Amino acid sequence: MGVPRLSINSTPTVPKFPSIPLSEAKMASSKTLAEFFNPAKRLKSVPSPETLILKSSISCNSSPSNESSDPENLTTDQKSRIEINKYSALAKRNLRVCTERVSKSKGISSSSFFFISCIVSAEGMEYVKLEELLVEDSWMKVLPGELQKPYAKNLCRFVEREVRGSVAIYPPQYLIFNALNSTPFDRVKAVILGQDPYHGPGQAMGLAFSVPEGIKVPSSLVNIFKELQQDLGCSIPSHGNLERWAVQGVLLLNTVLTVRNHQANSHAKKGWELFTDAIIRTISLKKSGVVFLLWGNSAQEKSRLIDEAKHHILRAAHPSGLSANRGFFGCRHFSQTNKILEGKGHVLIDWQL
C-alpha cells in the first residue's frame, strides 16, 4: 500500500480534542499527597453490579468458576462477590466522609490530611465530636440518641481531652467507629468480639484483631489464621487486614474503642463498655440467627446480653499466644459459623483473605 503524498503547500490537519477546564488539568497534572500517604485507598467509581466480580470464592480451596454476564444466570458464589464489592464501596464512602470531617476540623485539605496526620504530634490536635464520626445510617437508626445519653456525653468529653493531650490515641479519630461504618446493621451475620484496640503505632484500625497492610501481624491474629488453615484449608495471608470479613457481615467489634499509646486498657471503664453493650443488646433484640464468636473470658461475659433462643454463641479460649493451645486451636468456629448460616439460607462467609 502506497504512502499518500502531501502537497508542499497543504496545511496538515490538526485533530481537535475536547477542551479541559483549567482546574481539572491541574488536578490531572500531579498526584495528591493522599495518593502517596493513604492507609485506605480513595473511593473509585463503582461499575454496575453485573460487572463487579472478585477473584475469590466461599471455599478456600475451590477454583474460580466461569463468570456469567447475565444477572439471571449468576451463581450464588458470583452474587456473593457482587455483594462484597457493593459493601466495600459503601465502607469506603463512609471512611471518606469521616476523613473529610476530621481534616476539616484541622483546617487542612483532605488531600493533605494523611500526610500531615503522619508527621504532627498528638498534642494540640483538633477534635471531632464522636457522634459526627458514626456515619453509617443503619446504625444511627437502631441506636437513636445513644451518644446523647449522660454516660456517652461524659465519654465524649473524656475522649476529647485525650485526643487533645500529649499522648497519641489509637485508632485515629476517623477510624474510631470503623467497625460500625464498615458493617451495616442490616448486614451483620456474625460478631467477633475483641477487647481494646492494639496500642502500638499504626496498628489499630477500628476493627477487632485487624491491622493495616504493611503492619506486622500480631500473634493473636497469626493464631486465628492458623486455625482457619486447619479448619477450612485457607492459605495464611501476608497481611492482617480483615476489612474483607467486615464487608461480608462479620462485625469486628472491640468492647473498648480507643486506647493510649502503649497503655493497654487505658480507656477501659470510661463509658465505651456501655456503648458497645448497647450495640450487642440491639443486635440480640432486633435481629435473629446471628453467630457470636466469643473468645476468652472477657468476650464470654457478654453472653448475658445475647438471647440464645434467637442467636448462636460459639465459645473458645482467646487466640493469644498464652491461651490458644488451651481451647482455641481446634475450635473450628469458622466452619461452624458457615454451617449455621447455610442452614438458615444465608450466604456463607468467605474467610480467605
Burial class (CB in 10 A: 0-12, 13-18, 19+), 12: exposed
In this structure, are residues 314 and 333 in contact, taking their beta carbons and an 8 Å threshold? Answer: yes
In this structure, are residues 136 and 180 in contact, taking their beta carbons and an 8 Å threshold? Answer: yes
Strands 190-194 and 291-295: parallel
Closest among 57, 41, 42 to 233, alpha carbons compared: 57
Query: Between vectors from CA 183 to CA 282 and to CA 288, what angle results, nearest 5°?
Result: 40
**Under the phi-then-psi rule, with left for phi > 0, alpha for psi from -120 to 50, and beta for the rest, what region is 147?**
alpha
Compute CA distances 196 → 267, 316, 338, whole Å.
Answer: 8, 19, 27
| Residue 257 in grid coordinates | 474503642
Does the annotation mark 196 as catalytic?
Answer: yes
In this structure, the dihedral spanned by the alpha carbons of residues 163, 165, 169 and 174, taken in order and rounded to 10 degrees, is: 20
Q: Which of 77, 196, 231, 350 is catalytic?
A: 196
In this structure, are residues 184 and 139 in contact, taking their beta carbons and an 8 Å threshold? Answer: yes
Query: Residue 42 and residue 60: Cα distance in Å, rounded?
Result: 28
Query: Residue 32 and residue 92: Cα distance in Å, rounded?
Result: 18
In this structure, are residues 142 and 185 in contact, taking their beta carbons and an 8 Å threshold? Answer: yes
**Catalytic site positions:** 196
